[in-house]
Chains A and B, each alone.
Chain A
Amino acid sequence: MNNIRNFSIIAHIDHGKSTLSDRLIQTADIVSDRDFQDQILDTMDIERERGITIKSQTVCLPYTANDGNIYFLNLIDTPGHVDFTYEVSRALASCEGALLLVDASQGVEAQTLANLYLAMEHDLVIIPVINKIDLPSADAERVKKQINEDLGLDPETAILVSAKEGTGIDIVLEAIVKNLPPPSGDPGAPFKALIFDSHYDAYRGTIVHIRVFQGKIKAGNTIIFMSSQAAYKVEEVGVFQIERLPQNELTAGQVGYFIAGIKTVSDTRCGDTITIKDRPCDASMPGFKESKPVVFSSIYPVASDGYEELAVALEKLKLNDAALIYEKDTSKALGFGFRCGFLGLLHLEVVQERLEREYGLSLILTSPSVQYELIMTDGSKFTIDNPALYPDPSGIVQTKEPFIRAAIIVPDRYMGAVMNLCLDRRGINTNYQYLTSDRLEMIFEIPLAEIVYDFYDTLKSITQGYGSFDYDLLKFRETDLVKTDILINGERVDALSQLVHRDKAEKRARQVCGKLRDEIPRQMFKIAIQGAIGAKIISRKTISPFRKDVTAKCYGGDITRKRKLLEKQKKGKKRMKMVGQVMIPQSAFLAVLKTDTD
């Protein structure tokens, strides 16, 4: 056990986590250079393109240290986005140490801080690593100062690397061996392991990623999940070396996987504890909770006969995405679809993109909503996330909405801009403190509904990319909610209804009407687009009918140009959905989804 090190890399998006992982893997020599592909742990196209890790991966690196001994370094990769904080915490719970990666030019950001707090909660030993020292804008001294002042870590222990150029990688590997403690745990005690991830394999079913804390596991054992008491017979155990490498057994301290004929990843719970049925351990690992979706949206196929295909695609996606939940939904305007729950807006976008890209579907998504708690006059209480199910408001006594605690770190010159943004989003500034002489951390309590649109993008743009953001969910608080409807030529389009705070309703309705006016093509008749609360019209836009054209001449050389113009128009208007008499392009629904700017 002394030759095992279990560690994660914690970092803000873009600080180079994937590149550093690649270098560590390369140095450990388990992948031939020929097979090496940049960002080897990010296996999905979307992950590579967006530069984020959605599905974490684990890899066991054999490393011969300067002391001549061979060590097994288990790198447990973590998802890199605020939507996946719980998954990060489970991965960290499986480690003894962590590399804290900071970009030499960007410095410490909110997510770095949040993840560092998570790591500290698990008593991990932290090795600060300053990356991208090859950049001209790198300022390692300033970052060291931040590491000292913002994070309270010893700046002298920081290792300077350029993952891109491969400098400093050996020092990192040596530091992992020397400075991180080996795992502890009695191999002879009853088996106890933590599930920190799982993924689906088309041939073998669910591959469960575990960290063994005590005891041993091998093929033939019957294990039980402590949360559900479900029992499975283990078919195979092993470790990850990019590919799965079967082992006779996994013992205390090791990180690896087991396969036990589990059909979907939803049958396993990240953070759950497993043990062996015949000789169970006494208690579960602490900190288990079910990850709960916080953002909801309905997904409909554009093609009226696309429901079955969508159902099949969601089912397949769900095999590998335990956090995704869905149930059947119907809309008068859009037909059959699914109401889905997501961990956050990024999660929603990833699911949408995967459905479109990997399954070739054209989708319409309804405006994302959070969950509200309603207390009715008869004393009953229920939660609602779907505007279509919003009851008669006269029967509602009280409505509550979820709040978050947002931590934002910015250079102090953006303080005013951030303050305005958060106040505009109904936020309350509870606290702020200078981390260094010119950087401050601002804490806000903001309704979750206000951040599900484009909060993060707006924050990035008003702070010119310097603002960073992290959040925790708080309790529900009382609110004043209304349902805004959109009427097209007098017909209510249920898929465009939204639940909005009363103060925001008019502005929002106006924005939606404006977007629809821009996206819906002119037709032969005038189209009225109205926003309404109940019977009260709060905004109105019209699309005038066909417009007269200026006609150019059109001979041999003009034809291609003219056709290209028409092709462009056709592309913008493709995938139309007939709603009543009006054709609404998919782009109109998508534009509404993102609206929160004037």
Chain B
Amino acid sequence: MVCTAPFLFDTLYLGGGTPSLLEAEVIDSIIDAVRNRFKFLKAAEITVEVNPGAVTFGQLKTYHRAGANRINIGVQSFDQSNLDFLGRIHTADDAIYVLNASRKAGFENIGLDLIYGIPGQTVTSWLADLVKAVEFAPEHLACYMLTYEPKTPLSIARKKGRFNPLSKKIVFDLFETTLTFLTTNGYEQYEISNFSKKVIGSPGLRRSRHNQKYWSAVPYLGLGPSAHSFCSPKRQWNHRSVRRYINDLNNGVLPIMGQEVLTRSQRMIEAFCLGLRRKNGISFESFNQAFGVDFEQVIGDVIPDLEEKGLIKADQHHFALSQKGLLFLDSITEMFITHPAFSAGTRL
């Protein structure tokens, strides 16, 4: 579609929305169809995203039989008042049910999503959520800070004063609580919001292979309404309207709503803003290779400065944000991308 090269896929992710609303057999046939149509690695990571309250043990078993080997559960919180605030249909008990049922259905790789920064939350109540989550020993945890995206019902309600958002200070306390708690409980933070269980001998084993693709400019193919595909330097996305999506397919047209071809400067911005989210950070060598520059020569002076401030960690090969630095992700990204050496019109 975007790329023409014959690809060997090593991950498949069924998610976004609530795929478990479909009959388990439909999921089964989708996985089957995709595996027949595209070349897949034998040990491919195949994830199904499920929402508590909308999935049964029986469904989970069918997924497993169909070849899924990873389940990602949108738990969000074990606290009912938080679930109510977020407008979730499920209860804490539903979440516990799905966690147990997934294990029972045979899944050895379970991911669990939590949200923090919810009005009313305290360090204590957030810790209770984390403790509860860790009790189930999930292989993967994604802890997302609540954000108020413009024009969403949540940000409109906030503007209207329907609730008191948490102060920034508390939100950052929660962020630090997350890091401290999870890293002392056997998890590594491999991206700003993603944690995986450390496995002796193979620490990165339980990272989401799929998620990591989004941050490393490798190609991926998105199917379904709104899905994004990427093959550097091109990105394209499908129609959001389900009807339009279906119509286009019925008419033999690719249901593409838009595309962009990234300029070098855009690719560079993405390399910084995505690379800095990751524990692996940015490798000097791949950066130099991708952009034909000598990073250290161009803005190498910035690195020791940030290091001294405790914002980044660097070695000979790469640099990444420190725990403190992660709190300043946007500012540090901005600093790199606005650096005169990378400004428009400046020859490197």
Contacts and interface: CB of A to CB of B under 8 A. Distances in A.
A556 B229 CA distance: 7
A563 B334 CA distance: 11
Given A524-B309, A566-B273, A550 B331 contact: no
Contacts of B338: 521, 569-570, 573-574, 576, 583
A551 B327 CA distance: 8
A47 B332 CA distance: 43
A563 B193 contact: no
Interface string B108-136: 00000000010000000000000000000
Given A569-B338, A575-B343, A563 B309 contact: no
A547 B269 contact: no
B340 A554 contact: no
Contact of B273 (A362, A523, A546, A563): A563
Contacts of B168: 548, 550
B303 interface: no
A549 interface: yes
Interface of A (DSSP majority class): loop
A171 B319 CA distance: 79
Given A548-B328, A550-B171, A553-B144, A566 B305 contact: no
B28 interface: no
A555 B337 CA distance: 20
B33 interface: no
Contacts of A303: 345
Contact of A551 (B142, B149, B192): B192
Contacts of B274: 554, 559
Given A546-B328, A556-B228, A578-B340, A566 B215 contact: no
A362 B345 CA distance: 10
B172 interface: yes
B226 A553 contact: no
A567 interface: yes
Interface string B307-340: 0010100000000000000111111111101101
Contact of B214 (A522, A551, A556): A556
Measured as residues with beta carbon below 8 angstroms from the partner, the interface class of chain B is 35 or more
Given A551-B329, A557-B228, A567 B147 contact: no
Contacts of B229: 556
Given A562-B273, A567-B266, A583 B340 contact: yes
B269 A549 contact: no
Interface string B134-148: 000000001011010
Contacts of A179: none
Given A557-B237, A569-B338, A583-B340, A549 B327 contact: yes
Interface string A11-50: 0000000000000000000000000000000000000000
A557 B237 CA distance: 8
Contacts of A557: 226-228, 237
Contacts of A551: 145, 147, 192-193, 277, 326, 329-330
B328 A567 contact: no
Interface in A450-489: none
A355 to B, nearest CB: 16
A560 interface: yes
B344 interface: yes
A202 interface: no
A412 to B, nearest CB: 43
B340 to A, nearest CB: 5
A47 B244 CA distance: 47
Contacts of A554: 214-215, 273-274, 277
Contact of B269 (A550, A566, A576): A566
Which of B172, B222, B329 counts the most A-chain CB atoms under 10 A from its CB?
A: B329
A548 B327 contact: yes
A566 B275 CA distance: 14
Given A524-B305, A554-B214, A554-B277, A570 B337 contact: yes
Contacts of A535: none
B222 A556 contact: yes
A303 B347 CA distance: 12
Interface in B253-301: 260, 266, 269-270, 273-274, 277
Given A559-B214, A566-B337, A547 B270 contact: no
Nearest to B211: A555
Contacts of A583: 338, 340
Contacts of A578: 340
A576 B222 CA distance: 39
Contacts of A550: 117, 145, 147, 168, 171
Interface string B201-238: 00000000001001100001010001111100001010
Contacts of B343: 570, 574-576
A389 interface: no
A574 B222 CA distance: 35
A122 B113 CA distance: 84
Nearest to B229: A556
Given A556-B214, A563-B266, A570-B343, 18 more contacts: A546-B328, A546-B331, A546-B332, A547-B328, A547-B331, A548-B327, A549-B329, A550-B145, A554-B273, A557-B228, A559-B274, A560-B260, A567-B266, A567-B269, A569-B334, A569-B337, A570-B334, A573-B338
27 contacts: A523-B335, A547-B331, A548-B327, A549-B328, A549-B329, A550-B171, A551-B147, A551-B193, A551-B329, A551-B330, A552-B149, A553-B142, A554-B277, A555-B214, A556-B214, A556-B230, A557-B237, A559-B214, A559-B274, A562-B273, A566-B273, A567-B266, A570-B343, A573-B334, A574-B344, A575-B343, A583-B340
Interface of B: 117, 142, 144-145, 147, 149, 168, 171-172, 192-193, 211, 214-215, 220, 222, 226-230, 235, 237, 260, 266, 269-270, 273-274, 277, 305-306, 309, 311, 326-335, 337-338, 340, 343-345
Interface of A: 303, 362, 521-524, 546-557, 559-560, 562-563, 566-567, 569-570, 573-576, 578, 583
